[in-house]
Structures are given as C-alpha cells and as structure tokens.
Structure 1
Amino acid sequence: MAAALGAAVLALWGATLACSGRSAPPASPQASPPEPPFEPSQPTSTPLPTVEPSAALAEARAAWREGRSEEALALFAAAARDPLLAAEALLGASAAAADTGDTAGAAEYACAATEQAAAEALMRQAAFACGVRALAAGAPERAAAALARWAATPWNDRLQPYIWAVYASALWRTGDRAGADAVWHQAIASPQGSAALRAAIYEERARLAAVEGDVSGERHWLERLVGAAPTPANWYALAVAAARLGDGEAAVAQLRRIIESAPGSREAALAVAELKAMGAPPDPGLEGYVAYRRGAYADARAVLSAAVEEPGLDPEALAFRLYYLAAAYDDAGFYREAVPIYDRAAATAPASAYAHRARYWAARALEAAGEHRAAAERYRTLALEMPPGEFSGEAAFRTGYLLFLAGAPREALAAWDALPVPRDGRGLYWRGRALQAVGDGTEARKAFAAAAAADPAGFFGREARRALGEPVRSPMGYEPLPPAVPPDWAAIAAWLVGDPSVAQRFERQTAARELLLVGLRGEAEAAVAELERNAATPAALLQALWEAWDAGLADTAARLASRLLERAGGEAEAAPPDLWRLAYPVDFGAALDAAGARYDFDPLFLAALIRQESFWDPDAVSPANAIGLTQVIPTTGEAIAAALGVADFEPSDLTRPASSIAFGAHYLAGQLQRFGNEYHALAAYNAGPGNALRWVGPPGEAPADYVERIPFAETRAYVERVIANYERYLALYR
C-alpha cells in the first residue's frame, strides 16, 4: 500500500513539474571537497521555511504525527497538487515513507523536494532530509551530492553541525576518508554542535572501525564515546573492545563500573557473566543485587544465601547482603521467610540506612502475611522509638491504619494522635473514616474537608469529596475534548521569573524542530535534553520548555513543565493554568477523542492513563517490553489486533500513537465494561483482570478500601496516580 501511495505522490509531483514548466532534477554532480574549518561567530536561530497555510498539509502532518503513515502519504499527495506546497508535501511524504520502511521512496521524496523549494531555508532543509534519507537507502553518492553545497558554504546555526555529520558519513561511504575526517572534525569542533551529536559521531566511527576490523580504532572512538555518553551500553562495548585487544585490566574495570553504577541495567547481568568467565568474579553481594534488580529472585536468593555466610564481612556489607536476601524472599511472596532475615539485617548494622529499611519492610511483610496486629506494633516501634528515617511517616500512618482494619477505630485514632502522622490527604481521609466508625460524624466531616483541601487534585481529595456527599466525576460517558489553544507564554514567564517580556525573546537554540521535521525524533529529544542540562536558571529552563513545545515534543515539554512545578513546591498551585496544561498535555487529541467516542468514556481519562504509562513518549518501552503511549505488551497487542480486525500486526505498530491509543482504549474499555468502575478497571489494566477480580471486596465498599487492599505496591500507586491525573485533567480542561 505504501508503494502505491508513494507512486501517487511522485505522479502528482511530476504533474506539478509539468504544470510549472520546470524539468525533473538532473543527476547531482560529484561532491566537491570540503573547505577548511571556519571560525564561527555567535550562532543564529535557524531560519525556518514558511509557506502559505494549507488545511491539507496540516491534516497530513497531523496524520504523520499520530503514526498513520499510509494515510499521511495520501494526504501529502493531495497537498502536493499545489506547486507552492509541493516541497513541503514531498518532505512530509519522505518522513511518512520512512516510517513505513520504504527507505528508497523516502529518499526519492526528500531529494525531489530540493528541486521544488524556492526559499533557501526550505531548500537547505530539503537537502538535509535528502542526505539523511539517501544515506539510509544506501545511496551515499546521492547524499554527498545533495549536501556538498551546504557543507562548503555553512550557515552559522544549530543545524549546520548535523549537515556536516551526515555529509561526512556520506563521504566515508564513497571512499573519501580524508574528506570525511575533515568534515567530522568540523562537526565535532563546532560550538553550535551538541554533546549528543558528538556522541553519535563517535558511535558511528566506532561502528565503522569495527566493520573494517580495526579494533584499535574502534576502541579509540569508544573511549571518546564513553566520555561524551557514559552509559552501560557504551561501557560494555568498550570492555568488549579492550578484551579483544588483550587488555583484560581495562575490560574488567569497565565491567565493574557497569555493576557498581547501573546494577539494574541489562548490561549488568552480562557484565557479571563476563567477569566470571574472565576469572575475576564480582563481589557476591553485588552479584546478588544485580540478580534481584532484574527480578531473578531465585538466582538472587541462591547467590546471597551463600554470600551472607562469608566470614569477616564488614557489618555494613553484611547488612546490605542480608537486606536484599530478605527482599528476594519478600518480593517473591515468601513473606514470613523474609521477616527474620530483615531482622538480622537490622541487628547487624543498627545505625545504617539498611536497618531502618529492614525494620519497615519486615513490618510490611507481616502485613502482607495477614498479621496486622504484629505488623502494627512493629510500625509503632519504628515510628516512635527508632531514629527518624525515610519510612517514619508511613510507619506512623500504617500503625493506625492496620488497627482500623482490625476493627479497632478508637485504637487507630489514639495511635495517630500519638505518632508523627503526615497531615496529608491520605492520613486525613482515613482519620475521617475512623471518626465515622466511632460515630463522630461532625469531626469526620472536618477531617474529610481537610483532606479535600490538602489534596484538591489527588486520589484522596477525590475520595474525601465522595465521603462528604459531593459529586465526583466518573469517566464513564463520552464528552468531547475542548479545542486546543496555544499556551500564554507571557503569563508563564511573569509567574516564573517576574517578567512577561521574557516570552518575546524566545528563539530557537537547538536544531530540534528541524530534526523532528525529517523524522529524527531521538536526535531532537537529545538536543533539548542538552539544553535542559545546561539550564542554570528558571528562565533558561523556561527556554528549554518552550523549545520542546515549539518542536512538537509534548512528552519532553510535559517533563520540563513538571520539573518547574516541582521546584515551586507549595507555590505550584498558583502557577498559571497553561503551565499545568503543559505538564498535563492532551497530545494526539483527534485520536483520543475518537477513542472516547467509540467506547463511550471520557477521553481525558485515557489521557490520564497515558501520562502515567508513558508520560506521552510514543517510543517508550518498559523492562517488561510494554510498548508505546499506552504500554501494551506485544502478546496482548496481537489479541487486540485480532479483535479490531487489524491485519499484519507487528509490535512496532505500538510505537505509532494512533495505534497505541486505539489498542489501549480497546483494552481499557473492556475492563471498564467488565468491572463497571474506574478503580477496578485501572487495577486490571496494570496487574491483569484476574488479580483485579481477586481483590474485589463486598458490594458498595469505598474505592479507597479496594485500593489500599491491593498487595502490589506498583499497582496500588498506579491506580492512585491515574485517578489523581484524571482529577488534574478535569480541573484543567473541563
């Protein structure tokens, strides 16, 4: 289908050429050698191509953003009928074709756009896209020819280093190694270049050296790469290269670095195996911890059971090993077996952080085993008699909560009065429930009112309003999304830095928008991430937020806006609504609205779920291999595809926003229909319908009772957060 649509685009483009009297582009000349590096002045903002507004082009771009690539190709074909829009339409068709896997077609469209562009900014953008796409299609000569002019006569902007990088790759593949080296040097040395771009160049050069069997060269570039991007994958690649050169000491150092710095990474498990094979096994405590972090609890128990018996251990080291041995039992459901090991960890190093944690989790294990009274006493001891720690407040709350569950509300109230319980929405809500249970309706209402005030857009604020008899919005029933409006940046700047005029001085400081326009989403995100890392002031962070929004990176913008709100602390509620809307976006609104209409639920509820599942990142992949905005596992995706009549389903389809939204909405709607309420449905979405059904209590119980009963901490927090997200979305958009 993609090929047929591609032919339509090219046919329409040919017709446009005929109507305009312009001939088809001739074969590009041989690339000229690069000029010597130039001395740049202050970078300027990249001039972006401007075209007349076109509903067809806007619709095509919306389809492309949502991952409806085949439909986008057809829409770009319609837009290409207008000679004034042909270049823009061909660039869009290039990106859409690339998303369908048609690399040759993507190159054709992008290179054709260079001949249709009138303005230099658009011509240069098209040449960059042509270079990227031709290189991907295995046509380096064409890529080099397209970029030669723009590499030799550089612009002083943030896109230029990317042009050099692609041009250098093309020259290398055409055999011009000296020319490639010189141009790569320009890209690396350019002050307009980013650390992410330099890392990409080092990675490519290491890969090219490996292909040619140049292990020393591979190691050289990997060392540069590790300096620019110190990640577990890069450390592991460098360790492998060092080992191949016989430098076992350097290889061991890199492998140990992975285990110590990133024990939860995939590479950590590989590093453990490699170190053992090299006769340099890691510390048994760290080996067990790596197994625990990847969820291999049986392996962790096997390693740590022996490790805790090692003689002569420092108390801190022994407490660490005991703590994670207990956790490996606890997380696997062996609650009673975990308790004495937690106790031993606490006794081994009483002043360590692990002692506090061990005491808390020993109580949680007893609670999970159903021993509420014993657990409550342990919580009370931790909160009242032990030095304060990270779980002191939670222990104080759970002391009274378990007494309440045990049918002793007066004891619960007395415990809460005597302990340092946080005065948050959760604590106040359950105090209200205990006061209700003892018949003190007046004080109960005061507690519920305080909970609603303390947590106005949160889970327990919602449940407190329910307890007060106030209306609580159910997501069941469709209501269309409101029209999207641009943020009021002046209002945001006035609140954040006290100067609304800051918003008038925003200008692009990265090539993120240009990179995204040719489909290089990862590179665009990296460019904004570097801007964020270098933001030393609130105004600089606001610039990074604007840059992400301007580029169309809603997930990055949401994260940056959330960071600004978190920095504001208690003042965040006074922030302009548009800053909150940036933190809680409604991206891909047409797809969300269509899903809500189809399944008769509020599309804002699906938005709330997406924010928790993926934080609006279309390419998100979890450790469990859940993919996309709605984090659907491929096996579940296959079943949903069959139900929806989607043929030829591939897991990669889940990275397409429209598909992910459709699949997630279908599954969510099924759970809403099965359980009849949002709380059970969310638990089923996260932990499976079987678990959600097992946790259901007596008819008519309050939702908070169900949620607190969920034994999985992740699922319990998930339900609370999605509901809190929904409350915030309702406040912002309804």
Structure 2
Amino acid sequence: MSWTGWVAGWLVGVSLGQSPTTLEAVRLHKPEATLLARQELEACVARGCPDAGRLALLAGTLALSDGQAAEARDVLASTPAPALLEPYRAFYLGQARFYSDDAEGAAREFSRVVEAGAPSVLTARARARLGEALLKAGKAKQALGVLDAALKATPSPELLFQRAQARGATGNLAGQQADLLALALRSPLHPYADEALKWLTETRRPAVKLGLAERTRRAEGFLDGGAPQRALDELDALGDAKQPKDAAAKVALLRARGLFAVGREQDALKVLEVARKGPPEVAADAALLLARRALKSDDNAKARELMAALDQKYASQSAGEEGAFFAGWLDLQAGRFADAAKAFAAHGERYARSRRRDEGLWFRALAQLRLGEFTQARASLESLVTTFPRSSLAPQARYWMTRSRELAGAGAAEVGPEYERIIAVAPASFYALLATERLKELGRAAPALFPSPPRALALPRPPELELAVELTRAGLFRDAADEVEAHAARLRSADQALPFAHALLSLGEFGHAHAVAARHLWGRAFGAREPDALAAFYPRAFSNAVEEAASAHKVDPFLVWAIMRRESAFKPEVMSLADARGLMQIIPKTATAIAQKLAEPAPAPADLFSPERNIRYGAWYLAKLMERFSHPVLAAAAYNAGPGAAVKWARERGDLPLDLFVESIPFRETRGYVKQVVADLFLYHAFYDTKGEQPRLPLVVPAPASDGVSF
C-alpha cells in the first residue's frame, strides 16, 4: 500500500466524523485502523450522525484490505456514500463481492463504475476488474471484449493473463498461447508467468518448447530483476544440446553473471572463458564484466589494467569506450593526475561520439587543476562549455574557468564579473553559492541569488481537486493520490500548473506540488526567477514538525529542509530499494538505533512514514552529524554515504580547498547529493532566515571529531 502526504485530511476529519487518530492510523496502515473505523461507524449510526456513508466507505475498504470480504460487502452495501464518493463505494463493493465468490454481483458493481463515467483512474481499474469478474462468472465472450479494451488502455501482466484465459475459454487457443508466451518472456518474475509457463510446457498439447532465444530472454529478465538462481535454472533447462558457437558464448556470459551473483566465483570464471572466445560483442561484455567486478571490489590496480585492455582490444564496442573512460577515472582517483589528463584526452579523441565526452572533458580539466596547469584546465573547460552548452556540467565548468583564472593570479576586476555571471545563469546551484563566497573574499558585493523569496498565492482551489479532498477526508489516501497524479499528468503548461501547484501547497501536499513544479515551472523559477514559481520548489514543508524537532535537537531547521528536499522531494510515502523510508529516508535499522539513543521503543517500519516521527529522527541524526563534522558539506556526505566514508575522505583530502574537496568525492551520487543539499541549505537561509546576516560557507574542510555518531 502507498500513502499520500496529505495532512489536511486529519485536520478536517474532526468535523466530518473521523477522528485524527483514526485517519493517522489509516494513513500509516496500522493494524488498529480497522477496529477504530468500525467503532466510529457504530457510534455514528447509533446517534444518527450525517457521516455514516463516509465512515462506512472507510470501514468497508479497511475490512477488505484485511481480507474480510464478507464483512466489507455487508458494510459497503449498508449505506450510500456521499455523491462524489459513490463510484468508489461501487468499486470497493465490487471487490468485496468478487472475493466473496459473487462474480456476477461484482460484475454489476464494476459495470456501474464504468457506465457512470467515473474518474479515469477509477474507470480503468473498474474495467480491468469487470473483465476478470465476467470471466469468473463464466461469461468469457463478454469478458474478452472488456479485457481487450482494458489491455489496450493499461497493459499489464495481470490483464494479459486474464485475456489469455478468456481467449482459451472462447476456443482461441492460438491467441491464448500468444498471450501466455508474451507474459512468460516479458515478465518472467511475475507470479502469473509461472502459471503461463506451466500451461505452455505441460498443459498445452502439443507442448510449446521454449528454445534458445526464449530461455536466454527469460534468463536476462531474471538477472536484471535480481533473481540469479532462477536465471541459472532457466539456462539449465536448455540441456546439453550442442549450440552454435555464438549462442554458446552468449549463454556462457549469462551463466557467468548468475554464478557471480550467487557467489560461485570459480565456476563463473571458468564459464566466462567460453564467453571470451565468442563474437566481439559478447567477448567485450565478458571482459567488461570482469573489469567492473574488480572496480566494485576496490581492486583498483586490477580494474585499471582490465579497463585499459578493453580500450585497446574492443575500441569498436561500447565496452571499449567504457574501459577508456574508467581507466582515466581510476588514474584520477589514485592521484596520477598527469596520466589521468592524458587518458581523458585520448578518450575524447578515440571516442568522439561518446555520451561521456562532456564528463571526460570535465575530469581532464580536474586533473589539470590538481596539477596546477590552470591554462590547460581553462582550455578543457572552454571546450566543454562550447561543445556542450546544455550539459549539466556547464555551471561547474564556468565556475572553474573563473576560479582557474583567479588561481593563476587574475584580480577582482577580471574574475568578479565572471563570478557574477555564474550567479545570474545558475542561481540555485552549488556554483552560485561558491561564486558568492569568492566575491565576498574579493571584497565585492555579491548579487542576490534571487530578487525575491518564494511567494505563496492565495488562489481558489481548482475544481478538479475537490474529489481528491473528499477522498482524503474519507481516508482513501491512495485513491486521493491517484486522483491528484492523474490531474497533474494532464497539465500541459506553466499557466495551468502554477495555480494547481499552489492549491496543493495550501492543502499540505508538498510532494505533489514539487513534482508539478519540476515538470512545468522550472523555467519560471530558475530562468525568470519568479517568486510564485519558486514556492513549490522550496516550501517549508511540515513546518511545525521541522521547527519543533530542530529546536529540540539544536540543529539548523534549514538543513533539515535541504536534506528532505533531496531525499524525498517532500513525499512522506517514499520508500527506496534499500528500504529507506519517509521524508528523511531513514532505514528501519537506523531508526531503531536512533530510538535507542532517545530512550524510546523501537518503531515499526510503517511508523517511519509518519512525518512527525521521521523528521524527529532525521533532525536528531543531523544534529549528531554536525556535532562530529561541523560543516554542512561533510554532514551531507555522511548522511548519504555514511560517517565512515566522510571521515575517510576528510582525512585523505581535507587539505584541499572546499571546492576541490567536493569535486574529489569519489562517489558520483554523493558528489551530486552534497552539491544540491548545501546549495539548498543556503537558499533556504536566503529565502526565510530573518534573524540577521546570512551565514557564510566555510571554504576550509575541518577535521572531523575522532568519535561521534558512526551509523
């Protein structure tokens, strides 16, 4: 289940029947939510309150989510919902009837939704379920037409499987086979794919034999989906039949990937020798696999050797270009700056069409800067800006063009206007912040990053948001989020997006407002620098919780907002592949450690979606990072990569000026993270800090404390 970040729902809940406690329990999907909703419904019915329909809808959907289909059916059938929500009652009543083995009744409810012209998101869901209900009711011919339309509108493995069933039931075995084969090949990790494969290879007569192309495609799907053992099983199903040399090499490469992933290193290396004797494209990928493994294992000397060999042997393959690039990058990381500059120069000449050419020019310039070759660095940077004016690296190239002039002895009169230009061109960037500090060092007044702070607009709520508000009031948070996202997807211009974003801000839906702004208001915010467009990019989201937590833990509230903006873009429901959760992206293990430090019970993982708790834990953690590192650059690096990595980098490279230190962070993700967080921190101060003179960014890297927070 996903949750929306709407906070307005529980505020209006008091006057609409639901208590804040119930809606908070629903939003966090707590086990007690169903009982609370049922108790409120019973109390409402007993006293004849006008909110019985809304409460019945909430109680019914919660019972359904708990697997109590019969109870959900009875509750939902008992009381009509408010007019705007009636299509949702019909949909969930259809769900309840379906899971109570009343397929015909379910089909009637789903038909009501489709025929009523319900919101497009709900209609699409109802149409898909209608096809399934008709199929279950034995009406395969009717189901087939519905499923064809649903699959065309919203392709999915579930619909493909159901259409296959409908085709089979109407005698179209060839169509059934085509759908099930497509499902087995396109979505091998989906549960229906196993049923599809069983029908194809066991039930179908004559059985469908999956050949080399089909088995290797499924194996690739399993490898890409993180199921290496299943990939190996798939390849084993090919048997011992002799394969053409090229095909055998490709199978060997896939098998090696799977064997490496399950920890069978020696077996993988043995199989990889077959792949390396295959056609050039397979042999190149096999060699690249070895090089990448050396890189990930921190065996940089071996990785450098293997990457350079790729460049020499497979220049006509993409693996050769990657090898050339990373050979230079490894030289740079090892402090072999002259070698790195030569390697990146060769990369640019040898791979003129590489998508990394701009990055190669940047790293060449960085190597030259580290060598003190400022004229050469400036030439590389000028080439980057001239050749790739739209590159995301252009702002830093312009900063370092100017900085290299200053390092070579140029005075304020020469470099001052260039620093001012950087601020004008990229006002929200880390390089505008650096340029501001450099101007102050030169004794020049720095221009404001933005002429005016963000400005919230008091606009009438767009009528298309009324349904989302009603859904939120009813506790149907996922449906509310779907409705908002559907309308956001239909926005086509900045003029449409601006009032919509401000309406979302006024409702406390900061994440959706930021997403709308990022899609449609970028030019107005950072080109025209309009304050009303900036508001959705830099909100003081969940301000009460942030300010209370920051005050309690003695940390800068603007740092909390800067981290929140980068981690979740203000969406409380976000969960990463690493199981980091909520606004500040805290993993359950870290949350348990923080709770222990705060002398609190360990939270359940779902509790981390609570804005208040997530912010409180994040603020505590940031406070401890600032105690240990005393600089926002190091604290941000530690938040992203861990305190151990930040300590290591500070000890190895802390003698560099701050700007070069940040450029030398070896993890690309962390470099970008630090730049954005620190830039946003100072923008938040510039926009909202009314306590006096704006803080300065220290341009010297401090030594971290020897002890302190380490998790």
Shorter chain as normaliser: what TM range?
0.7 to 0.9
* Equivalent runs, 1:1-40 vs 2, <5 Å: none
- Cα shift at 1:271: 5.1
- Cα shift at 1:330: 1.8
- Cα shift at 1:458: 1.3
SS state at 1:101 partner: coil
Pairing partner for 2:54 from 125, 129, 151: 125
On the 8 A contact 2:381/2:398 being kept in 1, the answer is: no
On the 8 A contact 1:242/1:250 being kept in 2, the answer is: no
| Inter-partner Cα distance in structure 1 for 2:490 and 2:500 | 10
| Inter-partner Cα distance in structure 1 for 2:149 and 2:258 | 25
**Residue 110 and residue 397 in structure 1: after superposition, are their counterparts in 2 closer, same or farther (change >3 A)?**
same
* Per-residue deviation, residues 150-187 of structure 1 (Å, max 9, x unmatched): 67x995x5x44321121123334555442123213433
| Inter-partner Cα distance in structure 2 for 1:147 and 1:549 | 33
Pairing partner for 1:335 from 292, 300, 303: 300
Letter in 2 for 1:437: L
| Inter-partner Cα distance in structure 2 for 1:258 and 1:510 | 45
The aligned counterpart of 1:237 is: 191
Q: Which runs of 5+ in 1 are unaligned?
A: 1-61, 211-216, 473-482, 490-502
* Equivalent runs, 1:401-550 vs 2, <5 Å: 401-416=366-381, 424-442=394-412, 443-469=414-440, 486-487=456-457, 506-508=462-464, 511-535=467-491, 545=501
* Per-residue deviation, residues 548-582 of structure 1 (Å, max 9, x unmatched): 5576532122112111134x4x8842153232221
- Cα shift at 1:699: 6.8
- Cα shift at 1:194: 3.7
1:683 matched to 2:637? The reply is yes
SS state at 2:527 partner: helix
- Cα shift at 1:654: 1.4
The aligned counterpart of 1:187 is: 113
| Inter-partner Cα distance in structure 2 for 1:276 and 1:221 | 33
SS state at 1:631 partner: coil
**Residue 463 and residue 360 in structure 1: after superposition, are their counterparts in 2 closer, same or farther (change >3 A)?**
same
| Inter-partner Cα distance in structure 2 for 1:548 and 1:258 | 43
The aligned counterpart of 1:553 is: 509
The aligned counterpart of 1:101 is: 31
**Residue 123 and residue 110 in structure 1: after superposition, are their counterparts in 2 closer, same or farther (change >3 A)?**
closer
* Equivalent runs, 1:63-82 vs 2, <5 Å: 65=7
SS state at 1:457 partner: coil
| Inter-partner Cα distance in structure 1 for 2:254 and 2:559 | 42
- Cα shift at 1:678: 0.6
TM-score (norm 2): 0.73
1:720 matched to 2:675? The reply is yes
SS state at 1:310 partner: helix
The aligned counterpart of 1:228 is: 154
- Cα shift at 1:677: 1.0
* Per-residue deviation, residues 315-341 of structure 1 (Å, max 9, x unmatched): 444444443442232233222322343
Letter in 1 for 2:395: G
1:649 matched to 2:603? The reply is yes
| Inter-partner Cα distance in structure 1 for 2:214 and 2:464 | 38
- Cα shift at 1:610: 0.9
Letter in 2 for 1:616: F
1:358 matched to 2:313? The reply is no
- Cα shift at 1:708: 1.9
**Residue 350 and residue 565 in structure 1: after superposition, are their counterparts in 2 closer, same or farther (change >3 A)?**
farther
- Cα shift at 1:709: 2.3
- Cα shift at 1:594: 0.9
| Inter-partner Cα distance in structure 2 for 1:117 and 1:165 | 26
**Residue 521 and residue 275 in structure 1: after superposition, are their counterparts in 2 closer, same or farther (change >3 A)?**
farther
- Cα shift at 1:536: 5.3
Letter in 2 for 1:719: V
After alignment, is 670-679 or 594-603 more displaced?
594-603
- Cα shift at 1:658: 0.9
1:733 matched to 2:688? The reply is yes
The aligned counterpart of 2:615 is: 661
* Per-residue deviation, residues 77-110 of structure 1 (Å, max 9, x unmatched): xx96xxxx3xx24354432344442122222224
The aligned counterpart of 2:166 is: none
SS state at 2:18 partner: helix
| Inter-partner Cα distance in structure 2 for 1:305 and 1:581 | 58
- Cα shift at 1:608: 1.1
On the 8 A contact 2:505/2:513 being kept in 1, the answer is: yes
Letter in 1 for 2:23: A
On the 8 A contact 2:276/2:287 being kept in 1, the answer is: no
On the 8 A contact 1:383/1:419 being kept in 2, the answer is: no
Letter in 2 for 1:405: R
TM-score (norm 1): 0.71
The aligned counterpart of 1:49 is: none
| Inter-partner Cα distance in structure 1 for 2:228 and 2:8 | 36
The aligned counterpart of 1:622 is: 576
Letter in 2 for 1:90: Q
- Number of aligned residue pairs: 617
The aligned counterpart of 1:148 is: 77
Q: Which runs of 5+ in 2 are unaligned?
A: 137-142, 158-185, 203-207, 240-247, 444-452, 690-711
| Inter-partner Cα distance in structure 1 for 2:210 and 2:474 | 38
On the 8 A contact 1:236/1:255 being kept in 2, the answer is: no
**Residue 408 and residue 301 in structure 1: after superposition, are their counterparts in 2 closer, same or farther (change >3 A)?**
farther
Q: Percent identity?
A: 24
The aligned counterpart of 1:168 is: 94
* Equivalent runs, 1:590-601 vs 2, <5 Å: 590-601=544-555
**Residue 91 and residue 169 in structure 1: after superposition, are their counterparts in 2 closer, same or farther (change >3 A)?**
farther
**Residue 353 and residue 730 in structure 1: after superposition, are their counterparts in 2 closer, same or farther (change >3 A)?**
farther
- Cα shift at 1:239: 0.6
- Cα shift at 1:230: 3.6
* Equivalent runs, 1:303-342 vs 2, <5 Å: 303=268, 306-307=271-272, 309-310=274-275, 313-342=278-307
The aligned counterpart of 1:608 is: 562
| Inter-partner Cα distance in structure 1 for 2:280 and 2:298 | 27
The aligned counterpart of 1:275 is: 234
On the 8 A contact 2:455/2:532 being kept in 1, the answer is: no
SS state at 1:637 partner: helix
| Inter-partner Cα distance in structure 1 for 2:470 and 2:188 | 27
